[in-house]
Amino acid sequence: MNPAHWLNNPMFGVGGTLLVYLAALACRRRWRWMHPLVSASAVLIVLLTTGHIPLAFYQSGGDWLSLCLGPVTVALAVPLYKNARRIKEALLPVLAGITAGSLISVAFTALLLSLTGSPEELIRSMLSKSVSAPIAMEIARRAGGIPELSASFSVLTGLVGSVTGPAVLRLCGIRGDIPLGTAMGTSAHGIGTARMIAESQSLGGISGFSMAAAGIITSVLMIPLYWII
């Protein structure tokens, strides 16, 4: 049978992704410095590139996995519910930190790209890089940016934050669950929250709340910027 028939089957994208990710998790258990999302993504890119496999073939199954993101995101409510009391007790400082982080992210991105002479369309696409991809895409669409480019920046930001964020924060002396979870959820959205859940339910719950709040706050902060940019 023609190999293209198998490659164009949705099970190729689903099965291939799951197998590679399981292998990445096994490597993570042996080499703690390896991040499973980064290594799995790198392996998939290499396989598609060297095997000359069209992206559309892989995406026919990859779209199934994307469809699962909604229920998975809702599942983040479980650790959030379990830590609702702790979040409520520190609600004002947490919201202040999320607001400050969201504001600094948007302002610093706009300033840095403006000073380097970046195209306006790139600036509009990158302003929402620190929120989850669906929110970032909608913000970019309404701001006149490129939604697909904004989603790429969002995923990249989450990956970088997930890989380096905890080490950098702890190096700066930030060790409590609430500040760590707040910082990771605000800056690295869902990918950072997944990293926090892997460490503890407490960190995951606080990070999940921060991710959701940062999405709302960033969307509100962007309203006046629609007229400025």
Write the DSSP assignment of 90-108 as a string of letters: THHHHHHHHHHHHHHHHHH
Residue 210's pLDDT band, with cuts at 50, 70 and 90, is very high
Side chain identity at residue 203, one-letter code? L
Same domain, 117 and 197: yes
Q: Is residue 72 part of a domain?
A: no
Same domain, 134 and 193: yes
**Token pair of 206 as six digits:** 């606080």
98 within 8 A of 213, measured Cβ to Cβ: yes
Mean pLDDT to the nearest integer, 125-130:
89
129 within 8 A of 189, measured Cβ to Cβ: no
Same domain, 113 and 47: no
57-87 pLDDT, tens per residue? Answer: 777 666 666 666 667 767 777 888 888 888 8
Q: What is the mean pLDDT of the chain?
A: 84
**187 sits in which H/E element:** helix 177-199
* pLDDT confidence of residue 74: 73
Same domain, 218 and 107: yes
In terms of residue numbers, what domain contains 53? 3-67
**Token pair of 61 as six digits:** 């199954």
Neighbour tally for 93: CB within 10 Å? 12
182 within 8 A of 98, measured Cβ to Cβ: yes
Dmax over CA atoms of the chain, in Å, equals: 62
36 within 8 A of 28, measured Cβ to Cβ: yes
Distance separating alpha carbons of residues 23 and 157, to the nearest angstrom: 24
Same domain, 56 and 96: no
